[in-house]
Chains A and B, each alone.
Chain A
Amino acid sequence: MAAATPTSFTDKVIVSDEVAEFSPAIIDEMKLHVAKYPPERSRSALIPLLMLVQRERGWIDNAGVNFLAKFLDLVVTDIWETATFYSMFNLRPVGRHHIQICKTLSCKIMGEPAITDHICSKLGIHPGETTADEKFTVTMVECLGSCGTAPMMQIGFDYHEDLTVEMVDRILDLCQ
């Protein structure tokens, strides 16, 4: 399934009435997204807005969902229904640098296992885990469209392609 497993999701969600707050600049950015769709179809903006909430808050938390429910005039279950389907939505907090390593065929045969082993042993965590200082999370993901420059990883939204172990070291050193 494209969604995170239910156990990891329900374990961590804290249900509360807290509503997230965003700056006027972010609200304006959200309104620009809503304006792309017909007025009665504002739900279309849900995925772009969830991406925005995640960009601002780091993950999709209960307060962010409560905000979107009010903003788009939906119920919270509508939002969780959509949010739990898509693999890019972090339903748990992640580290400041979210390292996503492509594990699909082209990367796999071009050296992904060595890259993954190196990153995980350097950070002392397994895929799916976050370092104790909350700096790094490592996630294994499916094809990111960088097969010709395999192996690759994405940190946040940044692509890093045609990787070697030495390049990985340099990139991780650049992560503050």
Chain B
Amino acid sequence: MRLLKLRNQGRGHEAMEIRAIGCEPLSLKRMHLKDGHTLKVYRETGGYESLKKALGMAPADIIEEVKKSALRGRGGAGFPTGMKWSFVPKDSPKQKYIVSNADESEPGSFKDRYLMERDPHSMIEGMIIAAYTLGSQTGYIYTRGEYNYLIDIMDAALAECRDAGILGKNIFGSEFSCNIHTHTGAGAYICGEETALLSSLEGYRGHPRLKPPFPAVEGLYAAPTIVNNVETFTSIPQIIEMGGLAWRDLGTEKSGGTKLWSVSGHVKKPGVYELPMGYADMEKFIFEDCGGMLRDDKKLKAVIPGGSSVYIMNAEQILGKNVTLDYEGLVAGGSSVGTGGMIVMDETVDVMESTKNLTEFYKHESCGWCTPCREGTDWLVKIFDRIASGGGRPEDAKLMLDICDNIEGKSFCPLGDAAAWPIQSAIKQFPDDFKKWLTDKTSSNGVMPNV
């Protein structure tokens, strides 16, 4: 059965901003170029020059540059990329694999989608450089199934590369050969976790695997595998071009380079923003760069700065606090960078209800493999449902924190932690919203126009 092509009858992309602030656009360099997704435009704008340069470098030197760049994984965990690459055993006789994690499913995050739609060659170039560095001949792009139209774009980009000798045998006339394929997921947030992604790529249910062994040692088909986020791979050609230290100096010493932020919710200008790491500060970003609150008469209430899995912040933690947007700054401010999926909420939002919404998400996406996460998220949703239907009890906050405590750090993979953190932080930062529901059995603001 073929479905009618109706794509984007809504306002779509016109409704949001895509731009760099405080730095030259690097990852967003080609976002507004006509046909920026084609090989022709990509090469006209300096594309694949980094790959040529890398092919003349020793792999150990490339890893050194990536280490110097202080690039940290952009998929949420923030693990140093250079260190991850250095874990791949150099003397392994097995085939090695490179996997791009394009399973972007974190609520609030949509940056990878635009990178793949408008500049797929940047990620592909990063993947080829990684493959050369680690001695891999095969790469896969694991894309979430819902991003079906992006798979067409990437298949076209990969075909262009093969025709131009950028993929396949003897790339740019070198000894190095490599091929990359697209692969589709089919709707499972857990497959963004790298070991679950590999299970899924092998055709199984997306269950995470025990670590160690880490994928760098035993990943896809039990062979050494590097899984990196789309934005991480996109940064690699920039690092090779500029040199690791120069790239790092765009940001701070510990958080190198630039980072994409996906901004959504109650702001005038939602969108994808590229900011240098250490951008000061969060208040300025929301109220000036993103145009401020969507409705001028509504005050800022809450921000989830890095995608649904990070701690929620209240307005007092942001206003006048000079929270810098980098890994260290956000931790000091009481949250973390995550994927950079910033959800801004005004005072019409009741935080009990918003937390309930996210908990329903984690319940739906729990893979069911381990008991704390499977049962815990289910019980939390049941409690939230009871509270929302007017059956809240004063002891419920303690009960929920107790369940969170039994999930956090006790589940098989980080999804359990990610389910617990929003609740723990919401109860801590918005005690009044919960108190109102648990004692008066109503929402914090009487009416809920949106939620």
Interface positions of A from 75 to 95, Cβ below 8 Å from B:
81-82, 85-89
Contact B9 A145 (CB under 8 A): no
Contact A105 B357 (CB under 8 A): yes
Interface residues as binary, A97-111 with B (CB distance below 8 Å gives 1, 0 otherwise): 110000111101111
Tell me the complex Cα distance, A141–B367, Å. 16
Known A-B contacts A47-B185, A142-B361; the reply to A149 vs B203 at CB < 8 A is no
Interface flag for A119 (CB, 8 Å): no
Interface positions of A from 47 to 68, Cβ below 8 Å from B:
47-48, 50-51, 55-58
Interface positions of B from 366 to 407, Cβ below 8 Å from A:
366-368, 374
CB contact between B3 and one of A47, A147, A157 (< 8 Å): that residue:
A157
Residue of B nearest to A149 (CB): B15
Interface flag for A96 (CB, 8 Å): yes
Shortest C-beta distance, A112 to chain B (Å), equals: 9
Shortest C-beta distance, B363 to chain A (Å), equals: 8
Shortest C-beta distance, B346 to chain A (Å), equals: 9
CB contact between B188 and one of A2, A152, A163 (< 8 Å): that residue:
A2
Contact A162 B203 (CB under 8 A): no
Residue of B nearest to A37 (CB): B181
Contact A43 B16 (CB under 8 A): no
Interface flag for A174 (CB, 8 Å): yes
Tell me the complex Cα distance, A86–B105, Å. 13
Contact B9 A176 (CB under 8 A): no
Interface flag for B124 (CB, 8 Å): no
Contact A145 B104 (CB under 8 A): yes
Tell me the complex Cα distance, A85–B366, Å. 11
Contact B186 A89 (CB under 8 A): yes
Interface flag for B178 (CB, 8 Å): no
Interface flag for B334 (CB, 8 Å): no
Contact B16 A86 (CB under 8 A): no
Known A-B contacts A109-B265, A145-B144, A149-B11; the reply to A160 vs B6 at CB < 8 A is yes
Interface flag for B218 (CB, 8 Å): no
Contact B10 A41 (CB under 8 A): no
Tell me the complex Cα distance, A104–B108, Å. 9
Interface positions of A from 23 to 53, Cβ below 8 Å from B:
36, 38, 41, 43-48, 50-51
Residue of A nearest to B205 (CB): A85
Interface flag for A125 (CB, 8 Å): no
CB contact between B110 and one of A2, A56, A146, A174 (< 8 Å): that residue:
A146
CB contact between A2 and one of B11, B13, B365 (< 8 Å): that residue:
B365
CB contact between B1 and one of A41, A50, A55, A144 (< 8 Å): that residue:
A55
Tell me the complex Cα distance, A48–B4, Å. 20
Interface flag for A132 (CB, 8 Å): no
Contact A46 B357 (CB under 8 A): no
Shortest C-beta distance, A7 to chain B (Å), equals: 16
CB contact between B181 and one of A36, A144, A152 (< 8 Å): that residue:
A36
Contact A82 B264 (CB under 8 A): no
Residue of A nearest to B12 (CB): A161
Known A-B contacts A2-B190, A149-B11; the reply to A105 vs B364 at CB < 8 A is no
- What total of chain A residues lie within 8 Å of the partner, measured CB to CB? 64
For chains A and B in complex, what number of residue pairs have CB atoms within 8 angstroms?
Answer: 227
Residue of A nearest to B355 (CB): A105
Residue of B nearest to A151 (CB): B10
Residues of A within 8 A of B206 (CB): 2, 85-86
Tell me the complex Cα distance, A149–B186, Å. 22
CB contact between B358 and one of A87, A105, A141, A150 (< 8 Å): that residue:
A105
Residues of B within 8 A of A109 (CB): 265-266, 345, 348-349, 354, 450-451
Contact B16 A148 (CB under 8 A): yes
Interface flag for A175 (CB, 8 Å): yes
Residues of B within 8 A of A156 (CB): 3-4, 6
Interface residues as binary, B161-187 with A (CB distance below 8 Å gives 1, 0 otherwise): 000000000000000000001011111
Residues of A within 8 A of B349 (CB): 109
Interface residues as binary, B105-117 with A (CB distance below 8 Å gives 1, 0 otherwise): 1111110110000
15 further A-B contacts with Cβ under 8 Å, apart from A44-B201, A143-B361, A157-B3, are: A2-B367, A85-B205, A86-B186, A87-B187, A97-B4, A105-B361, A106-B107, A143-B106, A145-B105, A149-B13, A155-B3, A156-B3, A160-B8, A160-B12, A171-B10
Q: Closest 3 A-B residue pairs measured CB to CB? A: A156-B3, A88-B187, A147-B264
**A–B complex contacts, Cβ < 8 Å, 29 sampled:** A2-B190, A2-B364, A2-B366, A41-B202, A41-B221, A44-B201, A44-B202, A45-B203, A47-B185, A47-B203, A51-B184, A57-B1, A105-B304, A105-B308, A105-B343, A108-B357, A109-B348, A109-B451, A113-B450, A113-B451, A143-B189, A145-B109, A148-B16, A148-B263, A148-B270, A159-B7, A161-B13, A161-B15, A174-B4
- Which residues of B line the A interface, CB within 8 A? 1-16, 95, 104-110, 112-113, 140, 144-149, 181, 183-190, 200-206, 221, 262-266, 270-272, 304, 308, 341, 343, 345, 348-349, 354, 357-358, 361, 364-368, 374, 450-451
